[in-house]
Structure 1
Amino acid sequence: MDEHTGDLAAVAKRKPELAPESEWEWDSQSESDSQPSPGEAFVGRDAELRRLSRAVDSASGDPVVMLVGGMGMGKSALLDRAARQAEASGVRVLRAEGSESEANLPFSALHQLLRPLLAAVDELPARQRTALQDAFGTGPATPQHASGAPDLLLVGVAVLSLLSALGDRQRVLLVLDDAQWFDRASVDALSFAARRLGAEPVTMLIAARDGDRLAGFDRHVPTLILEPLDNAAATRLLDQQPKSPTGHTRARILDQAGGNPLALVELTRAATAHDVAAGLPSVGPLPLTDHLERIFAACLDGLPAQTTRALLLLAAMDSIDSPIALPAGLPNAAPAGLSDTDDNAWLPNAEYNARLPNAEHNTWLSNTEHDAWLPAEEAGLVRRTGRTIRFRHPLVRSAVYHSASANAQREAHLTLAELLRDEADRRAWHLAAACSGPDAAVSAELARTADRARRRGGHAAAAKALQRAAELAPRRGDSARLLVEAASAAVFTGDLAWVEELTAAARARTDDPALLASAAVQAGRLAILTVRHTTVFSRLTDAAEGWAVSQPAAALGLLADAAVVRFYSGEDAQRRRIHDILGRLPEDASSTGLRTWVRAVSDPFGGREEFVAVLPQLIAEAEARPERLTTVGIMAWLLDETPQAVHAFDQAVDRWQAQGALPEGLGGAVAWAYVERGRWDEARESCARTTAVGQAAGLDHAAACAAAVDAVVLAYQGDTPAARARADEALALIDPLESRSVAVYARRALGAAAAADGAYVTAYDQLRLLFTADGAPVHYHASFPALADLAAAAVRSGRREDAAAIVERCARALGDNASPRLHALLSRARGLLADPEHAEPHFRAALADPVLAHWPFERAQSLLDLAEWLRRRRRIAEARAPLADALEIFRRLGARPWIERARAESRAAGLDVMDTAPDALAALSPQQQQIIRLAARGLTNREIGEKLFLSPRTVSSHLYRSFPKLGITARSQLRDLLDGVLASTAHQE
């Protein structure tokens, strides 16, 4: 089989659709009536069922509901009832059921869920279609992405698009059972879609075990916890059983079950049907799961050998494999033509194999003459649904598997590996399960499985395969190398504890300095994206110090990560620690660029002139190595060389698609640079991407960074409620003492929102928190750009003296190292705070350097301040030109509060300011403005959704609400409308 074609592709081509297996229902009638009727209420679960039904039936219900409970509490039965009710009312139901052994196959759960929709994948936009096909292993052999893996966010957008399109025809219900066993790649894609279902006629019901909250489904997802049944409900359930227990046996069952519905039913069945009540403990309960497993295992006694073997084979396999694997457990019942002397004795013959894709021809299941399953059915271990054999409950599978000897288990897995020899990934895992000790060949098979998983974006699956490969590698050196590779893959899951576990295991297996250094770098790469800054910094710098002599390149890489943490935390002692270790590292030409980057990130104003001087060379070198463009752009942004930063970021997107599976360290710099250059829509797109990745990977700090930047833009655009919500979200995700940068940015957003609302006392209070009690900056970089806004709020709130002291203290701290941008902001602040007769030189200085046009919003604010000062000095004619310039910039940016302020000042200056189209555009929400601008460029709803991580339906809804506000009726009018806006702002006033 082509290694670029995933096993899922083969499964999709030849395996029949399998009905989802529901958790054991609570009654114990015969198989034909084991499902509760649609009108029958579950014992003790009426409220939960009503809650699920309300979520499915109501357009205003929660789009996602999580059902949590232990095994046997009835999660699957509730999901099944909700699904059948939905289907009866015309809702389209899509199901997926987690499988413990499929948790290592990337996108297997998503494939199972979307399999009925695979034909619709061809109708997706090209990039979405390619991403989803790559994920399922059905894409082209040559990867379409620089990383060699599908774009995971595009996979999420593709899922959202599929569900949205299906929802256009009918309501949709997604039923995700045993989700604790879903593979991580599927969970990431589904959680991405789940957060965007608010405007869609789609409901997602998820069942998971206690303690198994899914990554990406945050704490705000509505959760139903299935508690044990109370005594009254438990008694009613026992009364419904065909042989209701009585007397002492009844009391012992009630006591032993502890309100678990499955335990109540199964202990009753065991006590009455199998006469094992005497085996129940006389005092005190055993652990419930262990006890039930023992009861199920007791049911195996006396079964025919071929039945026991068939059960073990079923227990060792995935349900998706059963159509080809089950015949191997029935040598006496195999179809005609199967020979025990044949080399393929355990495989169906060619005729049978040809029939396999057509489930109607799998007649071996109904071969009653040699039916090995009949005794298992009669013992209550399996149930037959049409042509499918399933265990009645996962506990049965567990009992069957663990009651077998190690040799029997091994033989079962070897049989399955032979049967699945054309499906390399499944075969590799069965071979691994059959290994009782090191095995170089199987280790190599798992390593190849990991490589295929990585190419499909299944980083968690790759890491698990490499971890198991390391366990089977005979040589300790190979084992350590595989563990470091596993850590490298696990980095992209966002699970820092797992990465640290893998790196610790690698350290225990090798003394190889290069390998150990690589392990430390892998852990550091992820650690910088978490909120544990103090702990992470200590680990990074301690490791860097330890490798300074033997592995200086690795030590420098660790210091680069430590510099990022220093930026996030803002702790000055960390700067000194970094520079101390950096001074011990040998200098060579190959490390000059990274050394400069470390110094610039940890202290951008300490040697600004030197850093700016080498920046052109670093940018030129990065153009030849585009993976470095984002890194150099971050350095340029820190130095207030924003035009060069934006140029680097643009090139990175165009030439390399810099967005990877995780945000870059200091990835928020990209969004900030776009904010400063006035490209606010692109800034918000960058924030949307980082938010999506951060949430999917469980990286709260990355999501907080994006939320803070997004909040600032929303405040500038006048959507102050949304700005405050995003800022509060950022603050809730971090510890402000651990992450001073994010705290400062969030406070800047809250200050800007208050100023936009005219609440200047509140604005000052928020901005004052960016500085210590004695006026020093809380953060060595993020606090300084807020000085002018602090001064503006101080003037309007009576805090002029306090603000002046802060401004002058910061000016002294910066000295001659301040950038032209910061010089301009300091000048503006001094002009605002100065006595009126002394303000003009400061305002003029804030506008003197032509380079300041690269920060349009800040320039427009300075223009407006100067114009207001001139008008109040009765120099009205002089005020008109800066007023017109400021109004034009504010309109172009969509800064609604400042537009209104500039318009009011223009009228006071005698300018004839008419209500024109820009005001109509400004009446839209910031997100609506983004959508309108993209639609005017000719993008379709799906293409807009890709950019903003929205569904096409949500885009359509925003357009529908925007058109009346703009006075248009057709999409074709948008380009003319925006051209008119630009033209009017170009010549107005």
Structure 2
Amino acid sequence: MTPPRTSSPVLVGRVDELEALLGAVAAQPSVALVEGEAGVGKSRLVRELLHRPEVAPLRVLTGFCQPLREPFPYGAVLDALRTVGGLLGRVPLSPVTGVLRPLLPEIADRLPEPPPRPEDPRQERHHLFRAVREVVAALGPVLLVVEDLHWADDGCRHLLRFLMADPPANLTVLVTYRREDAPGGMPLGSAYRPPAGVAGVVVELNPLDVAQVHDLTAAILGVEGVPAEFAARLHERTAGIPFVVEEMLRALRDPDWRLLDEVEVPALLRDAMAERLDRLPTTGRRIAHAAAVLGVPASEALLAEVGAVEPDRARAALTHALHSGVLHEAEDARYGYRHSLAQQAVYDTMTGPDRQRLHLRALAALEGAVPRPFMQLAEHSLRAGRLADWLRHGEAAADRALEVGDASTATRLYQRLLDEATLTAADVDRLAVKLGQVARGGVDQHDPRTTLEWLLNDRRLSRGARGEVRMNLGFLLIRQFGSTVAARVQLEQAVEELSDKPNLAMHARAVLGQPFIGSTPLAEHLRWMGVVDAYIAAVEDPDVRYSLLANELGSRLSIGDASVVAELDRLPATSPDVETRRHLARAHCNIADAGMLVGHFELSRDFLTRGLRLTVGAGVPFTASTGQSTQIHLDWYSGDWGSLAARSARLLEEYRELLPVASEASLVLGCLALARGDWEAAERYLADSGVRSVETAITPVALSGFAALSRLAFERGNLPRACVEADRGLDLLRRKGVWAWAGELAPAAVDAYTAAGRVQDAAKLVAEFTAGIAELDAPLAHVALKTCRALLAGGHDEHAAHLLREARRAADALGLAYYSALLSERIALCGLESGDEAAVAALGEVAGRFDALGASRDAARCRHLVRGAGVATPSRRGRRGYGNALSPREQDVARLLAQGRTNREIADVLFLSPRTVEQHVARVLRKLGVTSRAELLT
């Protein structure tokens, strides 16, 4: 088994810096200074530079300064010169170079005898500096690299300043250093500015941002991407310092952000912080210890109070800690550690009693703070051993987090509090209910589930609290892959346990009434919905009514209930109460999703805009996530595809474990891939839309997934499989009984059946579909029915064209850009068959519409049909030239090349001849500056 990487195989986030160094190397004589804190990647940048072909003609000499107590004079430069003997002898050297013979025995035989030793040490040093300069000048083009100049001895600094003040014409000097560790903050001992005629560059390396940490992590782990939350938490823990990121990943081995806080401080970082602490005076260490205990940036006064440093000595102590690189100024007049691992390293250097004493001092110092820092008070109480205070402050901190919309922090705090063995039964009831309430509105899937399942077995829990915990567990399970059947079991049991709490029991019934999951027949959902509707009509509490309407209105709208649209004004636009806003946010987003499913697209966009606005600050990240998935699905229907693939991919990456969001994002990505001819990607994404496990799928999404899979097989010429996918989808649809959701599946099935000769099956489906939506308010289904009738009519005569035009008018009325183009293509085909001269131009126009959408496969099919009709392809004369930029067709070819497609496969996708593809491939490789497919793939 190949061991995992411990460093990145590619340089991340340093493109501009590398280009600056390459510019300096190309402009000899030159000087380059690379500055950055420990671990930021100075040495890695230099290594990358040395592997670039532009550096190959240069003789690279490398020296390293070491953190020795008694450094060897001029050590780094002399080390770099030990290997140059073979290059000497081509140019006669003056006697002054002989002073290097005793210092460089490795090349002594290539140097002249040393001159008499001068009595003045300053003159002797000058001879040495001249000798080094002359030897370097005799070597040809040279790049002298000195690493870690902050550790250099004074002699080495002076020698480098001499070389950099008047470098030979063949020399580039590149030094790396940490300014915070250099004497006086100046690595060369004094300020340096390149003289006239010498190119100079200062490259300051900063920590990586979150996106760059994501890319670095993916490169180290050898994967395409990692969860956004993991990258964000890793950035927070490491401050974006590449070395610390690598060390964390070395210890972690598994990209799970929940495990990051459990990783021990890397040994190299721990030792580095201990060394810096040792260099501080006693008061400086006290300030550093206080900052480690406080854990967040603090003012000078607070650090002094917690660290027991007298106010008149605090400024000097803090300055020492800052200059040594132990502490950093995080914000105006607040100081702390560069990253949490550095803070943990210093915290671990203290003994238990010392830590407890400082936590008690921190508690005393923070008690009077306004506003109350509940999170800090809770943490200090716990670490000081004051459990009663920990419970009081911890619950207050969790409640406060929930108020401001930080559901994940509230969840973690309630979980930690519930782990406390000293809780009373009343404490357990209260905290368990709060945890369940926040968990069902959040996006964290695993930890809350484990805790809630564990709580159900806690004997201290009362029956009513147990029912509420069970209900919230059901809410959590119903949005997890493979858990929806278990969710219904929990919710039905919760209804019984909540018999004394009818409002809560009705919440469970409302979720059981939602028809979106699995193959449970609509009749069963309607039974639950009837009970909830009756309760809503009688309930007086507006919060209870809005919370139930949030489920009920969306459920009824989604199945085509014609009476719902008129009832939507029962919802106010907003509320000053946070809890009410949460219900309203959920209601608006649910209505938006339901409206999108049945084709009320304008209504859907209106409610989605208001719903997403209501989620801001309401602490309902799950609602916000489902709103985003509704948004991308709406954009698919409307043809707003410009950035849709990228947005959908980000959404899938961020919410991969959330069934409703992940399956919908997978559906959209699969449909986009199908329209582009990316068949393998389409197959992969559509498999995750719910078609693999329909009993636990989001049913309308799975039905659309079956439709897309049927179209995919049809496009690939596999009619039997196209029919099988349609059969599977229709089996689910018939068991479910919600014909309002057949808007995509029915046309795909009729198309496959008629092409395969199963005309009777197609006719039966059209009859069922007609009866199924006769009384329903489902605009998308009615457009689909018109399309089905046109497809069933078959042929390419005027009657078929009339039905297709009727279907297209209906699609245009709903703004269905892609489906309108598909229908236009069929209409043009009818014209082509009947000899209509305008049909060719119509197909060309449709191809343009497909191109504008990004449906390159469909556009290529239309152009192929034009060529097949025997009509000459329009001349490209007069069209814009693309120069070295890729034309739209070349972009399609490049995309398919990047997927590893062969010329034959590209030809099949784009309806081109292999010879034409071969010509396109040659142009793509030339324009992209690569010589082969293999180079393009890398």
Return the TM-score normalized by structure 1. Answer: 0.52
Residues paired across the two proteins, number: 639
2:834 matched residue in structure 1: 873
The residue identity in structure 1 corresponding to 2:681 is A
Q: Residues 512 and 211 of structure 1: is their aligned pair in 2 closer, same or farther, counting only changes over 3 Å?
A: farther
Displacement of 1:634? 1.7
The residue identity in structure 2 corresponding to 1:446 is G
Q: 2:678 aligned to 713, 719, 735, which one?
A: 719
Question: Would you say 1:892 and 2:842 are equivalent positions?
Answer: no
Greater CA radius of gyration, 1 or 2? Answer: 2
Q: Residues 912 and 655 of structure 1: is their aligned pair in 2 closer, same or farther, counting only changes over 3 Å?
A: farther
Question: Would you say 1:214 and 2:256 are equivalent positions?
Answer: yes
- Distance of 2:211 and 2:757 partners within structure 1: 51
Q: 1:854 aligned to 815, 825, 832, which one?
A: 815
Q: Residues 622 and 201 of structure 1: is their aligned pair in 2 closer, same or farther, counting only changes over 3 Å?
A: same
Question: Would you say 1:739 and 2:782 are equivalent positions?
Answer: no
Q: 2:394 aligned to 424, 446, 452, which one?
A: 446
1:160 matched residue in structure 2: 211
Displacement of 1:706? 1.4
Displacement of 1:567? 0.5
The question of whether the paired residues in 1 share the 8 Å contact of 2:512 and 2:528 is answered with yes
The residue identity in structure 2 corresponding to 1:543 is A
Displacement of 1:418? 5.3
- Distance of 1:117 and 1:161 partners within structure 2: 24
Displacement of 1:533? 0.6
Question: Would you say 1:833 and 2:781 are equivalent positions?
Answer: no
Question: Would you say 1:843 and 2:804 are equivalent positions?
Answer: yes
1:983 matched residue in structure 2: none
The residue identity in structure 2 corresponding to 1:806 is L
- Distance of 1:860 and 1:320 partners within structure 2: 72
2:5 matched residue in structure 1: 52
The question of whether the paired residues in 2 share the 8 Å contact of 1:484 and 1:519 is answered with yes
Give CA deviations for 1:782-833 in whole Å, capped at 9, x if unaligned.
Answer: 4442221222233444444433333333333333326343223223223223
Question: Would you say 1:809 and 2:768 are equivalent positions?
Answer: yes
Displacement of 1:746? 3.3
Q: Residues 89 and 161 of structure 1: is their aligned pair in 2 closer, same or farther, counting only changes over 3 Å?
A: closer
The question of whether the paired residues in 2 share the 8 Å contact of 1:646 and 1:674 is answered with no
1:340 matched residue in structure 2: none
Q: Residues 460 and 211 of structure 1: is their aligned pair in 2 closer, same or farther, counting only changes over 3 Å?
A: farther
The question of whether the paired residues in 1 share the 8 Å contact of 2:517 and 2:697 is answered with yes
Displacement of 1:462? 3.4
Q: 1:707 aligned to 666, 671, 674, which one?
A: 666
Q: Residues 723 and 519 of structure 1: is their aligned pair in 2 closer, same or farther, counting only changes over 3 Å?
A: same
2:107 matched residue in structure 1: none
The residue identity in structure 1 corresponding to 2:394 is L
Q: Residues 819 and 576 of structure 1: is their aligned pair in 2 closer, same or farther, counting only changes over 3 Å?
A: closer
The question of whether the paired residues in 1 share the 8 Å contact of 2:666 and 2:689 is answered with yes
Q: Residues 417 and 592 of structure 1: is their aligned pair in 2 closer, same or farther, counting only changes over 3 Å?
A: closer
2:695 aligned counterpart, secondary structure:
coil
Q: 2:478 aligned to 528, 535, 557, which one?
A: 528
Question: Would you say 1:610 and 2:559 are equivalent positions?
Answer: no
Question: Would you say 1:484 and 2:433 are equivalent positions?
Answer: yes
Displacement of 1:855? 1.5
Q: Residues 88 and 881 of structure 1: is their aligned pair in 2 closer, same or farther, counting only changes over 3 Å?
A: closer
Displacement of 1:846? 1.9
2:729 aligned counterpart, secondary structure:
coil
Question: Would you say 1:749 and 2:708 are equivalent positions?
Answer: yes
Q: 2:783 aligned to 821, 824, 833, which one?
A: 824
2:639 matched residue in structure 1: 678
Displacement of 1:681? 3.6
2:622 aligned counterpart, secondary structure:
coil
Displacement of 1:444? 3.1
Question: Would you say 1:901 and 2:861 are equivalent positions?
Answer: yes
Displacement of 1:650? 4.0
- Distance of 1:922 and 1:428 partners within structure 2: 62
Displacement of 1:645? 1.0
Point out where structure 1 has 5 or more consecutive residues left out of the alignment. Answer: 1-44, 61-79, 93-115, 119-155, 176-183, 219-261, 263-318, 329-342, 366-384, 930-960, 970-989
- Distance of 1:447 and 1:634 partners within structure 2: 35
1:769 aligned counterpart, secondary structure:
helix
1:661 matched residue in structure 2: 621
- Distance of 2:888 and 2:787 partners within structure 1: 30
2:79 matched residue in structure 1: none
Q: Residues 412 and 323 of structure 1: is their aligned pair in 2 closer, same or farther, counting only changes over 3 Å?
A: closer
Q: Residues 883 and 358 of structure 1: is their aligned pair in 2 closer, same or farther, counting only changes over 3 Å?
A: same
- Distance of 1:497 and 1:906 partners within structure 2: 58
1:711 aligned counterpart, secondary structure:
helix
- Distance of 1:886 and 1:545 partners within structure 2: 58
- Distance of 2:293 and 2:737 partners within structure 1: 70
The question of whether the paired residues in 2 share the 8 Å contact of 1:784 and 1:810 is answered with no
The residue identity in structure 2 corresponding to 1:569 is G
Q: Residues 345 and 629 of structure 1: is their aligned pair in 2 closer, same or farther, counting only changes over 3 Å?
A: closer
The question of whether the paired residues in 2 share the 8 Å contact of 1:413 and 1:431 is answered with yes
The residue identity in structure 1 corresponding to 2:591 is V
The question of whether the paired residues in 1 share the 8 Å contact of 2:39 and 2:244 is answered with no
- Distance of 1:185 and 1:419 partners within structure 2: 37
Point out where structure 2 has 5 or more consecutive residues left out of the alignment. Answer: 13-37, 51-177, 181-206, 222-226, 261-266, 268-284, 295-303, 327-341, 897-919, 929-938
- Distance of 1:728 and 1:567 partners within structure 2: 18
What's the C-alpha RMSD, in Å, of the aligned pairs?
5.9
Question: Would you say 1:324 and 2:284 are equivalent positions?
Answer: no
The residue identity in structure 2 corresponding to 1:536 is A
The question of whether the paired residues in 2 share the 8 Å contact of 1:716 and 1:897 is answered with yes
The residue identity in structure 2 corresponding to 1:739 is A
Q: 2:520 aligned to 563, 566, 571, which one?
A: 571
- Distance of 2:546 and 2:312 partners within structure 1: 66
The residue identity in structure 1 corresponding to 2:445 is D
Displacement of 1:185? 10
1:287 matched residue in structure 2: none
The residue identity in structure 1 corresponding to 2:508 is L
The residue identity in structure 1 corresponding to 2:855 is A
The question of whether the paired residues in 2 share the 8 Å contact of 1:653 and 1:659 is answered with no
Displacement of 1:872? 2.0
- Distance of 2:643 and 2:8 partners within structure 1: 36
- Distance of 2:313 and 2:323 partners within structure 1: 8
Q: 1:543 aligned to 494, 503, 522, which one?
A: 494
2:507 matched residue in structure 1: 557
- Distance of 2:787 and 2:828 partners within structure 1: 13
- After TM superposition, the structure 1 = structure 2 runs for residues 101-112 of structure 1, keeping only pairs within 5 Å, are none
The residue identity in structure 1 corresponding to 2:488 is F
Q: 1:794 aligned to 734, 741, 753, which one?
A: 753
Q: Residues 926 and 545 of structure 1: is their aligned pair in 2 closer, same or farther, counting only changes over 3 Å?
A: farther
The residue identity in structure 1 corresponding to 2:773 is L
- Identical-pair percentage: 16
The question of whether the paired residues in 2 share the 8 Å contact of 1:414 and 1:430 is answered with yes
1:816 aligned counterpart, secondary structure:
coil
Which sits farther off after the overlay, 843-852 or 587-596? 587-596
The question of whether the paired residues in 2 share the 8 Å contact of 1:450 and 1:465 is answered with yes
- After TM superposition, the structure 1 = structure 2 runs for residues 246-285 of structure 1, keeping only pairs within 5 Å, are none
